[in-house]
Amino acid sequence: MASVNPNFLKLASGYLFPEIARRAKLWQESHGGVELLRLGIGNTTEALSPAVCSAMHHEIDLLSDRATYTGYGDEQGNTSLRKALASYYKQHWNVSLDPLEFFISDGAKSDAANFQELFATDSVVAVQDPAYPVYVDSNVVGGRTGNWNEKASCYDGFVFLPSVAENGFIPTPPERHVDIIYLCSPNNPTGAVATKAQLKAFVDYALREKAVIIFDSAYSEYITEPCYPHSIYEVEGAEKCAVEISSFSKFAGFTGVRLGWTIVPKTLSVIEGGNEMLNKLWNRRQCTFFNGASNISQAGGLASLTGKGYEECRSLVSYYLDNARIIREGLSSTGLTCHGGVNSPYVWVRTPHGLSSWDFFDLLLDKAHVVVTPGSGFGPSGEHYVRISAYGHKENVIKAVESIRRNVSL
């Protein structure tokens, strides 16, 4: 009889977002289809930039003509897009990277999930707590952890780096040796952003301990305060120890279009086999298991990086950041303690009166008809918080904040 990968069975009961959807649906069914205001999932809602759309239309025109039709492209992505990304890093963050260090993908989630395949099964993994769930779940499936520990609300075997109010939601490096560290700044779910000095502490640790940092910069364009780094490569030495994963989803509204990238420096030296090992292995992995990102998406991504496309995408980011401000200011005025939402589209709200994350989720659903995300779903340190997402039409965001202000007595 065939058997399944036993590590898959370790995954805790449900992925967070399907569980939220289940509860919201149940509530709606028992309340005669009352309209819910959804500020739960980080899903973009506004129309794509016209310049980006026009580039994608043009690509479709090319595909509709036999003379200009193209099929499979390079697994690593179109050279023009890899070059444009290298220029974007240089122009905006003064970071010099070789286009061949960029690997284009169908999104940051797949890359964040797949990258762990390159590491030994007995690698010790550290992760910010709370964190975007895919870092943890992919390593569970990859066999690097023990079982789900009900009492501790986490998997045994991980090194969790608590991101709590006391450290401004940015942890310090582990006090023990680890092999892989996942970091995300601006952070999903806390909305916190790491300073250069905080990232440097991790880079110094990684160089000393010969650990690899996997840095998720999917929200880098949401940084409004110029003192914060947008890329880990702004920190000297990061090119020897860090891989950066990023996305067009939250910057260009590509959540449905699908496009992301991963940078694997050829200078990454903290891995057995030395420089170029990870770059070569990731290249091998992508060529073997991935057939390249959509040529239409890549045409759109290219248009988003410069000129009118870039300006229009920046406007999209400003729109969501303004929603975040409305949420932060509106909820703070009710007496709730709110973090984030300045350099990030997420507002991290402390539950009142010591309520659990799920109890506050249920309260907001029941009294205000607002769907949020329980912080405990992102890790044990997320307990007693909920994440409120700024992705939504502004009129709905305003309605949701007003509904909480009117209907939830704190």
Ligand X SMILES: Cc1ncc(COP(=O)(O)O)c(C=O)c1O
> Environment class of residue 35 by beta-carbon count within 10 Å: exposed (0-12), middle (13-18) or buried (19+)?
exposed
- Confirm if 390 and 345 have CB atoms less than 8 A apart: yes
Taking the complex as a whole, the smallest distance from the CB of residue 108 to ligand X amounts, in Å, to 4
Query: Is residue 249 within the footprint of ligand X (CB under 6 A)?
Result: yes
- Among residues 179, 216, 221, 312, the one that binds ligand X under rule CB under 6 A: 216
Give residue for tokens 């959509």.
294
Name the one range near ligand X by CB under 6 A: 74-82, 105-113, 152-160, 379-387: 105-113
162-201: contacts with ligand X (CB under 6 A):
184, 188
Interface mask toward ligand X for 14-53; x: CB under 6 A: ----------------------------x-----------
User: What whole-number distance in Å separates Cα of residue 55 and Cα of residue 35?
Assistant: 36
| Measured torsion, CA atoms of residues 160, 262, 233, 378, in degrees rounded to the nearest 10 | -20
- Rule CB under 6 A: is residue 260 a binding residue for ligand X? yes
Encoding tokens for residue 325?
A: 């401000």
Among 123, 333, 150, 108, CA closest to 212? 123
Nearer to ligand X, 188 or 304 (CB): 188
What does the block give as tokens for 380?
């044990």
Nearest distance in Å: CB 67, ligand X = 33
Subset of residues 304 to 363 that bind ligand X, contact rule: CB under 6 A: none
Two tokens, residue 338:
């709110």
Distances (CA, A) of 73 to 81, 87, 260: 12, 21, 16
348 Cβ contact partners less than 8 Å away, ≥ 6 residues apart: 169, 189, 190, 191, 192, 338, 339, 340, 341, 375, 385, 386, 387, 388
Concatenated DSSP letters for 81-117?
A: HHHHHHHHHHHHH-----GGGEEEES-HHHHHHHGGG
Contact between 77 and ligand X by CB under 6 A: the answer reads: no
- Would you say 101 or 106 has its CB closer to ligand X? 106
From 103, 132, 320, 385, residue interacting with ligand X (rule: CB under 6 A): 132
Beta carbons of 392 and 323 less than 8 angstroms apart = yes
Which range in 107-115, 154-162, 228-236, 397-405 contacts ligand X by CB under 6 A? 107-115
Site string for ligand X, 261-290 (x = CB under 6 A): ------------------------------
If binding means CB under 6 A, how many residues of this protein chain bind ligand X? 14
Interface residue with ligand X, options 16, 40, 44, 109 (CB under 6 A) = 109
- Smaller CB separation from ligand X, 129 or 408: 129
Q: Which residues bind ligand X (CB under 6 A)?
A: 42, 107-109, 112, 132, 184, 188, 216, 218, 247, 249, 255, 260
